[in-house]
Amino acid sequence: MSAENTAARPFGARLAEAVAERGPLCVGVDPHPELLRSWGLPVDASGLERFALTATEALAGSVAVLKPQSAFFETYGSAGIAVLERVLATTRQAGALLLLDVKRGDIGSTMAAYTDAYLADGAPLAVDAITVSPYLGFGSLEPALAKARSTGRGVFVLARTSNPEGHTVQRARDSSGTTVAQSVVDAAARYNAGAEPLGDVGVVVGATVGPGEVRLDTFNGPVLAPGFGAQGATAEDVRRVFGAGLRGLLPASSRDVLRHGPSPDALLSAARRAADSLAAILPSS
């Protein structure tokens, strides 16, 4: 179902259906300059367009979720945003869900404006879900959570990321001994209580973090797991970190698929290999 007209149908239910039909894989569309060069493309708006649309057209008909990284489009200004809008439209037509990686996090009217840009019906950049940062306080995300709930969209909240710079903050503990990352997961879980088959508030937990760093057994929402593929995590690592029975797990791969371009067939084959490796160890919904 299009992100432009979700008719308030819950994101968690739509994600569960997409994963059941297409498998548990999210592929990033990250037009990094190094990837453009490796495809033999110029590092400008024309190269961005050819890269992003080639990848989108090759993958959007097969994977459950496409995850454009907004920063790599924004760097080209208005021309880059125009390409991003074409990526979103092409993805919708092919049936994949859209998760826009923007990592927005602010307060008050500014957060509400970000929310209207990505989660409001009719917005030019409206998508099925976005990534958000809770590190101005989880309560600062309320405009996004409320808008997503009213329009049938979702949010993925950064909880335990795999970058070393995040360790100091995310592994810090409060007076009860709970880590910051776990407190984010617990706060998100409260929004998902009682939802079937999944809630609409997801979390981001890297596939390269240590097993057991966050408890997800009662989370009842989608878990985006970046780091699968080029960052080093294998399907077996995904099982080791998350177990084999976690519903809603969405491992994400970008460079490990995109490096096979510019051939559309090679891109699709790489995505199918990744999806097949995951399907053997993860539930389908």
Catalytic residues, by residue number, are 103
Handedness of CA 214, 217, 222, 223 (dihedral sign): positive
Helices 78-94 and 45-59 cross at an angle (nearest 10°) of 10
Q: What is the DSSP string of 102-161?
A: EEE---HHHHHHHHHHHHSTT-TT--SEEEE--TT-GGGGHHHHHHHHHHT-EEEEEEE-
Residue 263 dihedral angles phi and psi, to the nearest 5°: -70, 120
Lookup: tokens for 227: 């780091």
> Which of 80, 75, 70, 123 is closest to 101 using CA atoms?
70
Residue 40 burial by Cβ neighbours in a 10 Å radius (0-12, 13-18, 19+): exposed
- Could you identify the residue written with the tokens 């495809």? 39
Residue 204 backbone dihedrals phi, psi, to 5 degrees: -110, 120
